[in-house]
Structure 1
């Protein structure tokens, strides 16, 4: 699995839309959706910082590590 992005969970907790978050962070709605859906290959620290500020949360609230099944067997 790797890194799980929980932006959708924090959006629900804060009762905020993807559109509102993208406007507060200063990135396009399309790019925010890519992040939210876990399709992004990278995220800039500055963007993560702005998301945390907008959602009043810590990076650990947004990012979660889950090892791949084949890594657990090693």
Structure 2
């Protein structure tokens, strides 16, 4: 009888110190997708396939993908530390907010008469 895999995503996410929202942004899915994966409501068949790939090829997950740099200043590799993840998400230092008195100058466009 085939045994259904139980996702360990919540345990690993909490161990990494990430919220569901932070993980969803890193993975590129919605927060509700993370919730569904963690609860087992939606299957993790794709993860099981990746595990089978790695076993068959005797490799690590990272070996399956060649990371390409999207911009000159990025190394192209995924974040390797929690501080890098927080830096990418902008969750280390709160973003500055405009005061209620601040005004944004409207853009002026030249018009011909």
TM-score by length of 1: 0.54
Q: Can you give the 5+ residue segments of structure 2 that lack an aligned partner in the other structure?
A: 51-60, 62-77, 82-113
Gaps of 5+ in 1: 57-74
Distance, in Å, in 2 between the alignment partners of 1:10 and 1:54 is 16
Match of 1:5, SS state, is: coil
- Could you tell me how far apart the structure 1 residues matched to 2:37 and 2:79 are? 15
The structure with the largest helix share of the pair is 1
- Whether the 8 Å contact between 1:22 and 1:29 is mirrored in structure 2 is yes
Aligned length: 51
Matched residue, 2:7: 5
Q: Is the 8 A contact 2:7 2:44 kept in 1?
A: no
Computing the radius of gyration from Cα coordinates, the structure with the larger value is: 2
**Structure showing greater relative contact order (alpha-carbon pairs closer than 8 Å, 6 or more residues apart):** 1
What is the TM-score of this pair, normalised by structure 2? 0.37
1:36-58 per-position Cα deviation (integer Å, ceiling 9, x unaligned): 1111134435xx76xxx6788xx
CA contact (8 A) 1:5 1:35 kept: yes
Structure 2 residue 17 is the aligned partner of structure 1 residue 19: no
Higher strand share: 1
1:34 aligned residue? 36
Question: C-alpha distance in 1, partners of 2:80/2:41?
Answer: 20
Report the CA distance shift for 1:54/1:28 in structure 2 as closer, same or farther (over 3 A).
farther
